[in-house]
Amino acid sequence: MLRCRNEGEEMDEEGFGMLGRMLYALGEIEGCREFAALIPEVRTNLVYAREGAREPADVVAIDGRITVVEGLPRAAGRVKFGASSHVARLIIEIRRRDPSVRAAINFAWTPHLSDWLGRYCREKGWIFSVIDREGEPGEIREAEGASMPWKVAEAIRAAGGRVPKVFYETGAVGKEPVSVLVGRDPVEVAGQACEIARKYHGAR
């Protein structure tokens, strides 16, 4: 067992490797000026789940999320386990359907970006989907922790039964609409997110 001070807990070899890949991926995002324009009001998080992740404590994320400083994406805090709730629970739920998916990043949504993303995904051969919050049953919306399984199931249903590569979640009362990109690890996801940001910036 290797040791690393992460909230006073022991860190195993998988955890050390995950932290290293997350730091590299974060560097990619912070070096991508164009991505700053895709950071939503709720800010962006990048997450990476352990092989057997069951709870947010098993997921590495950015403490305080990624914000914008002087026009550039910047992490508000450090990379650590348990730093995300929403996006961490999202990746855990997706992994129930496709264990090869271990990382995700959320970013902004607008109608124009959505239309562009749809075309981009078709060109890449990626599955693109939507979570329509208008169809969320009231009893699920009101029950604590019940929305995430429904949202993932809805994204897969709308994609014809397949786990999408990119999807967006429509807004609801007090909820900002956001887009999500998933992949095998954070380095892959960060690179793809930066490519999207650069190409979308060039297309406008």
Q: Tell me, what CATH number does 110's domain have?
A: 3.40.225.10
User: Residue 38: what pLDDT?
Assistant: 98
> 65: phi > 0 → left, psi -120 to 50 → alpha, else beta; which?
left
Domain assignment present for 34 = yes
User: Residue 185: what pLDDT?
Assistant: 96
Domain assignment present for 4 = no
106-124 per-position pLDDT tens digit: 999 999 999 999 999 999 9
Q: Which domain holds residue 47?
A: 13-203
Question: Shortest CA distance to 152 belongs to which of 136, 171, 138?
Answer: 136
Check whether 5 has a pLDDT greater than 50. Answer: no
Domain assignment present for 6 = no
Check whether 6 has a pLDDT greater than 90. Answer: no
Domain assignment present for 58 = yes
Domain assignment present for 149 = yes
Domain assignment present for 3 = no
Domain assignment present for 156 = yes
Domain assignment present for 47 = yes
pTM attached to this predicted model: 0.91
